[in-house]
Amino acid sequence: MAGLAESGSNPDVDLLYDINGLAKDAPHWFDRVMEYVGEYGLLLALVLLVVWCWWSVRRRGGQDAAASVAALVWAPLAAGIAVLVNVPIRGFVARPRPFTDHQGLDVLVQGKNDYSFVSDHATLTMALGVALFVANRRFGLVGIGLALLEGFCRVYMGVHYPTDVVGGFALGTAVALLLSPVAMALLTPLLTMVERSRWGGWFVRARRAETGQGAVLSGARDEEQACAEERDLAA
């Protein structure tokens, strides 16, 4: 894999220079914005997106509330597992950062001395985005879009090759999708127990949703009782 970085005629390296070259032509303040967005901002945005989706799901309630929340719990777990899987991959491939083998790159973040393949940021964001897509299509599309932007930022910042990013996308997607059935089989019963408990029910279903469901059930019982009273009078 390290041999990919040795030739400037390699499309991976050419695309690296093309995207990173945009940083040289951009204003200094824009590079600082991209540095923050690529290092912290998009990860934070994805975490907030997952929280937002969880908040909307628990407010809506419904019979599938436990399964929906379980799918959202899987999103950060998938991201964490994907990063752990990446640890031996990075050590085995041992690909140096692009700026160690190539001159003239505009590196926006200093102190990146670990290996390059695959990108942790790309892995994290895509795992979050794909797992969120499994839970909710509308929120998931936004999450995948943020993950794609994260991949662009990592190359723009000069800290990853494009193939590092593509590898991270593939790893994050694989973990989020392939392990999703097992995760849902384990998490859904657990979240169902949490929903029925006094101490954790708020995590799955909002009080308003619970009240609304209770009102429906109560109304149904009142209607049945009224019908029974009418039958007794008729008899």
The CATH number of whichever domain residue 21 belongs to comes to 1.20.144
Q: Using omega within 30 degrees of 0 as the cis cutoff, is the peptide bond preceding 118 cis?
A: yes
State mean pLDDT over 48-57: 92
Under the banding of pLDDT at 50, 70 and 90, the label for residue 214 is very low
Q: Does some domain include residue 153?
A: yes
**Residue 58: what pLDDT?**
81
Q: Does some domain include residue 125?
A: yes
The total of structural domains in the chain comes to 1
**Residue 223: what pLDDT?**
53
Q: How many Cα atoms are found within 13 Å in the side-chain-facing hemisphere of 87?
A: 6
Q: Cα–Cα distance between 118 and 95 in angstroms, integer?
A: 9
Q: Cα–Cα distance between 19 and 216 in angstroms, integer?
A: 57
Range of the domain at 147: 2-204
Summarize pLDDT for 182-201 with one digit per residue, the tens: 999 999 999 888 888 877 77
The pTM of the whole model exceeds 0.85: no
Summarize pLDDT for 144-190 with one digit per residue, the tens: 999 999 999 999 999 999 999 999 999 999 999 999 999 999 999 99
